[in-house]
Amino acid sequence: MSADAAEVEVRAIAAGGDGVATLEDGRTVFIPRTAPGDRVRLRTLRLHKRFARAEIGEILAHGAGRVTPPCPHYVRDRCGSCQLMHLSAEAQREAKGRIAGDALRRIGHLEIADPVVIASPTQLGYRAKVTFAVAGGRMGYHPLGQPDRVLDIRDCLLAEPAVRRLHQAVRTAASLLPVDVTRIVFRRDRHDGLHVVVRTDGKDAWVKGKALHGQLQRAGLTATIWWHPEGGAPRAVAGGVQPWPATIFEQVHPAMGRMVREAALHALGDVAGQHAWDLYAGVGDTTVALVARGATVESVELDRRAVEQAERVGPAGPIRRAGLVEERIDEMQPPAVVITNPPRGGMEPVVTDALARTAARRIVYISCDAATLARDIARMEAAYAVSSVQAFDQFPQTAHLECVALLERR
């Protein structure tokens, strides 16, 4: 089949953000940066046994949801950090709802409609943290489909204004960064403290951290500068110690993170006088909320620094454990209710098996990947039925979304 001759109409967006169409021979073809309803002529068609991949050669007709992306890096440089910036906000949410619904039906064995995706209050400027790769004098994201290259990103429109200013100030002082820098994080914490975390692949001391701090101060920015050598612990090298360590995980979209947590707590219902598990607990925000609602709580979190921070700033009473959930879950008292918020890879089989053996009346599962959510639901389907699934556009312009699923004991 000639790539120049292949013309297709895009019917949907797949997980990951590529458009989906069908070739004349029946194979599904995945085409990045396309919109449902687009009619496109393909180029660089790569045929596989059961599917194909291609690039846009020419857009012959635009789908209704296609818009002009606001970021020049998305168009000019094919920046891979965003996948759906060429779609309107409404079209993005529709696509994500379809992706989630498909995963829940196909993998989770659920008879369920596509969830309605709750909109973010902002489409740009929402990220309190951005992480850039650094290589060859360039600081930025990877081009689409080229993880071995680094783009020089001058401005990321997804970052909050303060984080954007911090990034741009460090760009002008890039000569002060260590020569072996591989990654750099710009972050605003929940107390509005700013942080720059510099990751290196060597252990040679970084001697210019204080100079970078001074340069930022002259630009009107006060930030803590962190150095994180490969294989070592992160350490603050300038700017004093902030009340919130920069390397502890927090949601990158704070407003939507709070909305998701409130939805999860609402789904859990009345917990007063009940014993609750908070799995993959992070810094303990959900634990705090459960205690405030009258529950006794046991939590597990892998990051010991997050557990230590939770013990410093959280209420007394909860039993907080540091370690892998799969290694600590058998130590815990039987729960009446559970909130679980695992990373993108979902829960290990030993965890879903343990949950299925509990007598918990409700499990609320917060997930940033509909496919692993659906897989874990299927593992527990003999013990728990899904009552509802809510979806949230926590990461506008990308193919990612957050889901909150309520599972009730059969």
Tens-digit pLDDT profile for residues 289-306: 999 999 999 999 999 889
> pLDDT tens digit string along 333-357?
999 999 999 999 999 999 999 999 9
Q: Which residues contact 276 (CB under 8 A, 6 or more apart)?
A: 268, 290, 295, 296, 297, 298, 335, 336, 337, 338, 339
Beta strands in 3-62 (DSSP E): 7-9, 12-13, 19-22, 28-31, 39-47, 51-61
The tens place of each residue's pLDDT in the chain, 410 residues long, gives 455 569 999 999 999 999 999 999 999 999 999 999 999 999 999 999 999 999 999 999 999 999 999 999 999 999 999 999 999 999 999 999 999 999 999 999 999 999 999 999 999 999 999 999 999 999 999 999 999 999 999 999 999 999 999 999 999 999 999 999 999 999 999 999 999 999 999 878 899 999 999 999 999 999 999 999 988 888 999 997 676 777 888 899 999 999 999 999 999 999 999 999 999 999 999 999 999 999 999 999 999 889 888 888 888 889 999 999 999 999 999 999 999 999 999 999 999 999 999 999 999 999 999 999 999 999 999 999 999 999 999 999 999 999 999 999 99
Q: Which residues contact 179 (CB under 8 A, 6 or more apart)?
A: none
**Ordered domains of the chain (ranges, CATH):** 7-66 (2.40.50.140), 97-120+253-409 (3.40.50.150), 129-238 (2.40.50.1070)
Question: Residue 276: enclosing H or E segment and its boundaries?
Answer: strand 275-279
